[in-house]
Chains A and B, each alone.
Chain A
Amino acid sequence: MAGSNPNAKPMNLTLKVWRQRNRNTAGSIVDYQVKDISPDMSFLEMLDVLNEDLLRQGEEPVAFDHDCREGICGSCNLFINGRAHGPEAGTTTCQLHMRKFSDGDTITIEPWRSAAFPVNKDLSVDRSAFDRIIQAGGYISINTGGTPDANEIPIPKDIADRAFEAATCIACGACVASCKNSSAMLFVSAKVSQLALLPQGHVERKTRVENMVAQMDKEGFGACSNIGSCAAECPVGISLENIAIMNREYINAKATSNNLA
């Protein structure tokens, strides 16, 4: 079956792929050739082709994380030619398409590298540190039921829109992978500022930021040195403004702390 563009030429590529059996063994780069790759394929479909070939030849396919393949679940996380999610700005790995590459290219594919994201196998890493940071305070402490009518809390549209922008983080971890300090500031600040912007989040704003930052440090993420590579590589455009908001929240919380922990 031909692709949507009958004139698109299939490509042959060399892949340099990180292979690692599990968390406790050392890994290395292994070379593979893939042939007849359609420019209309997504990057992950190209890896599917590689994996089907490997399996048929009796070899072990390359493990990698993915699910929605629509840029929204945050599962996919490949470091492609030295960049988180590859060469196209504002794009997750699953939405990257092979037409961004050329016949004969060599493509290096590695996992996120951060002490806080240990490798499970090959290209799959453990990002549960993100969950633990949210568990430390990334919520509004209300139970199900007994909430006021939704329209009893009017929220100015611009505030609601900014909170929404911050809330679109997909927890992929590209910010961490792109930062030379492995800092998780962009991820953490997106949640802190979403909830700090909204009136519903004001009650707990001090304890929230303190607890989330404490957990972030505990997980082994590095400090922020304001270089901004995180925001540059974030596939959904989480802005550096959030880090500024979080710093403000943090200083304010520390100055007037009511955190008993």
Chain B
Amino acid sequence: MILDSKIPEGPLAEKWDKHKFNVKLVNPANKRKYDVIIVGTGLAGASAAASLAELGYNVKAFTYHDSPRRAHSIAAQGGINAAKNYQNDGDSVYRLFYDTIKGGDYRAREANVYRLAQVSVNIIDQCVAQGVPFAREYGGLLANRSFGGAQVSRTFYARGQTGQQLLLGAYSALSRQVAYGKVKLYTRSEMLDLVVVDGQARGIITRNLITGEIEQHAAHAVVLATGGYGNVFYLSTNAKYCNATAAWRAHKKGAFFANPCFTQIHPTCIPVSGDYQSKLTLMSESLRNDGRVWVPASKETAERLRKGEIRVSDIKEEDRDYFLERKYPAFGNLVPRDVASRNAKQMCDEGRGVGGSGLAVFLDFADVIKRNGAEWVSQKYGNLFDMYAKITGENPYEQPMRIYPAVHYTMGGLWVDYNLQTTIPGLYATGECNFSDHGANRLGASALMQGLADGYFVIPYTIGDYLAQTAPKPVTTEHPAFKEAEAEVHARVQKLMSINGTRTPADFHKALGHIMWEYCGMARNAEGLQHAKAEIQKLRREFWSDLKLTGTDQEMNQMLESAGRVADFLELGELMIDDAYNRNESCGGHFREEYQTPEGEALRDDENFTYVAAWQFNGENQPEILNKEELRFENVKLTQRSYK
């Protein structure tokens, strides 16, 4: 199949304005005749729901949370980028565009990224008008900070709680439309399937998580804003409930899945402390400005430390290996995320890791404390040090932090064209759920920007274009496709409930996470990926014959919810492996050990892999079909990213 990305003609800087002029409009009186379903009320979903309702459409918004305000977006810490150039330091729409394309290692679409940079400035205006309390300078104007991958200061923030404040802004706009009756809110309601009628998305099937009831909902168009799938690895910095079910169900109904193997692994997270570990917590990257990363120089010392025979302070300076400073004298501890992550893993693989499990390295602040004093450090990083102390019970002012890389974000997602429409007409995907803007690696503070750009400023135009070409006739759930989809969902729930085996959903999820992390994590190779594929297929068979659940499906049953999500992860995981196996190059977060420079840097193959891999479902247990969208770079020159 030829993938048409529908990128408008014309110069880069004019594409979006031209497109906005060319799209068809729905006349104001007709808007109320259209129903739109939005699944997800995070930044991407809440902003879209509010904006579409304000325009006059009837919106039905769904979330499995008990309130829209609890979406995972709430947890974002660092900030949101925008090309405001308030600091007069040389920022511009073009520079934000360029940084994002380059940061993504040249695997994103130019036109989408340029539009993102363009509307970024409107986002900040919108949020301030809503009452989002961004950080300010003494003169009363907005403050900015710097983030990785940029040489300008363009990140807006609200202390370490930017995601929370932005989401509460979008939630307030959404709540206002609920009060007006323009948005009907369905909380604790999980989408379990998409309904396609005559090739067009026309509704969804949900399960009420309190009563267990399966329900049908119809609309003229469906938007998925259901977040990322990092939890396929079991342990990640994502919230516990983040999952791929909505996107995966849509994929199986015909929506292509793009670049599934592009995952971002963040180098500085609090390490796993035991088998019971349920999630991982991020420690801001900014800590690497002042902390020094090291492990014991010898395996023996590391082992004695792990056993508690010696203490950190017993290890002499010459017995410590500051491996980043040693291997990358130019960048030192500030090498890019992927390099820092891979090196930490390598040290632990060599048996030189620290902590009880041996899967951690030190991030040491002793030098800076000696140099500038504990008070200075506390001013700068106090909240992070406190959070670390609360979780680990250790005082990072007195002993080095233990850190380890963790899965953080998924650049891959549902394939969408320039209009954010998937390969199913009438089905749209926004926010982390789609693949569109970050290529093979996302820059910090750009996910919040993308979610809000999609919801406030892109979808309101592009969905109108589609609806204008759809008859404003009322939609109902009468078509047999609804009954069929409901029956499928029902059968699946019954199947899960009746296996009656011995292993819990978490048991399978952990086993899957282990396979994914080992073979499709920070470093991948063809042999390992093939092995992992077989392992996942085996695990999937075990899941469907040995799962244990209790209770019934006619009530709140959190283990049943979890089982359904794990079942989908078990399929998505295999596709991620296929994608990683297919991409015979290293780029951004995708590091194939076979493809590296002599210095161990990622080696892209622009000749053969400057494309988006868009996978097409082809029947249960059948290999998926690979479709390629060639990426054309007309404005930036492709260069090898250098870390030296």
Which residues from chain A sit less than 8 Å from chain B, CB to CB? 1-7, 21-22, 38-42, 44-45, 48-49, 51-52, 54-56, 58-61, 63, 65-70, 72-75, 91, 95, 97, 99, 120-121, 124, 126-128, 130-131, 134-136, 138-145, 147-151, 153-157, 160-161, 163-164, 167-168, 170-171, 194-195, 198, 200-201
Contact = CB atoms under 8 A, between A and B. Distances in A.
Contacts of A44: 278
B550 interface: yes
Interface of B: 47, 50-51, 54, 65-70, 72, 74-75, 84, 86, 122, 124-131, 133-142, 158-159, 161, 164-165, 168, 171-173, 175-176, 178-179, 185, 187, 210, 239-241, 271-279, 281, 306-308, 355-357, 390-394, 402, 456-457, 460, 502, 504, 506-507, 548-551, 555-556, 558-559
B10 to A, nearest CB: 23
A6 B308 contact: yes
Contacts of A69: 239-240, 278-279, 281
B504 A56 contact: yes
A140 B54 contact: no
Contact of B308 (A7, A128, A138, A160): A7
Contacts of B392: 4, 40
B67 A147 contact: no
A35 to B, nearest CB: 12
A128 B66 contact: yes
Given A69-B279, A145-B122, A167-B168, A127 B66 contact: yes
Contact of A73 (B70, B129, B175, B274): B70
20 contacts: A2-B357, A5-B393, A7-B308, A22-B556, A38-B273, A68-B70, A72-B74, A75-B70, A135-B178, A139-B175, A143-B51, A143-B54, A144-B457, A147-B126, A154-B140, A156-B140, A160-B134, A164-B165, A167-B165, A194-B131
Given A6-B308, A134-B171, A139-B176, A148 B125 contact: yes
A203 to B, nearest CB: 11
Interface centre among B122, B171, B279, B281 (most CB of A within 10 A): B279
Contact of A58 (B137, B179, B394, B550): B550
Contact of A150 (B124, B274, B556): B124
A158 B238 CA distance: 33
Given A69-B278, A144-B126, A194-B131, 11 more contacts: A56-B502, A60-B550, A67-B239, A72-B75, A74-B69, A75-B70, A134-B175, A135-B179, A151-B86, A151-B142, A200-B131
Given A75-B65, A164-B158, A91 B390 contact: yes
B548 A151 contact: no
Please name the 5 residue pairs, one residue from A and one from B, whose CB atoms are nearest each other, closest first: A154-B140, A139-B172, A2-B356, A147-B129, A164-B133
Contacts of B558: 61, 63
A49 B276 contact: yes
A120 to B, nearest CB: 5
A138 B175 contact: yes
Given A63-B556, A151-B142, A144 B66 contact: no
A72 B161 contact: yes
A54 B548 CA distance: 11
A1 B356 contact: yes
A38 to B, nearest CB: 5
Nearest to B238: A68
Nearest to B241: A67
A164 B159 contact: yes
A136 B127 CA distance: 20
B69 A171 contact: yes
B86 A68 contact: no
Contact of B239 (A6, A73, A138): A73
Contact of A153 (B67, B128, B548): B128
A143 to B, nearest CB: 4
Contacts of B142: 150-151
Residue of B133, B272, B279, B502 contacting most chain A CB atoms (<10 Å): B133
Given A148-B125, A151-B141, A38 B130 contact: no
Given A163-B133, A200-B128, A1 B67 contact: no
A168 B141 CA distance: 21
Contacts of B67: 127-128, 130-131, 171
Nearest to B51: A144
Contacts of B134: 150, 160
A231 B239 CA distance: 27
A147 B133 contact: no
Nearest to A55: B504
Contact of A160 (B54, B130, B133): B133
Contacts of A128: 66-67, 187
A155 B504 contact: no
A147 B128 contact: yes
A65 B66 CA distance: 9
A140 B68 CA distance: 18
A78 B357 CA distance: 30
Contacts of A151: 86, 141-142
Contacts of A198: 131, 133
Nearest to A166: B133
B558 to A, nearest CB: 6
Contacts of A3: 273-274, 356
Contacts of B356: 1-6
Given A61-B559, A95-B390, A171-B69, A144 B504 contact: no
Contacts of A2: 274, 306, 356-357
Contacts of B548: 55-56, 58
Nearest to A133: B175
A48 B278 contact: yes
A138 B390 contact: no
A12 to B, nearest CB: 15
B363 to A, nearest CB: 14
A202 B293 CA distance: 49
A155 B555 contact: no
A154 B139 contact: yes
A85 to B, nearest CB: 13
Given A56-B504, A128-B67, A156-B140, A167 B133 contact: yes
Contact of B277 (A45, A72, A147, A167): A45
A40 B141 contact: no
Contacts of B158: 164, 167
Nearest to A134: B175
A91 B178 CA distance: 32
Contacts of A66: 240
Contacts of A161: 133, 136
Contacts of B391: 42, 95, 97
A154 B354 CA distance: 49
Contacts of A144: 47, 50-51, 54, 126, 173, 456-457, 460
Contact of B556 (A42, A124, A201): A124
Contact of B274 (A41, A91, A135): A41
Given A139-B175, A144-B50, A167-B165, A157 B504 contact: no
A178 B318 CA distance: 55
The listed residue with most B CB atoms (<10 A of its CB), out of A67, A136, A151, A198, is A67
Nearest to A7: B308
B130 A121 contact: no
A68 B502 CA distance: 28
A59 B550 contact: yes
Nearest to B551: A60
B129 A1 contact: no
A86 B24 CA distance: 56
Contact of B164 (A4, A42, A55, A72): A72
Contact of A121 (B68, B173, B507, B555): B555
Contacts of B72: 67-68, 73
A63 B551 CA distance: 12
A69 B395 CA distance: 21
B130 A67 contact: no
Contact of B276 (A41, A130, A145): A41
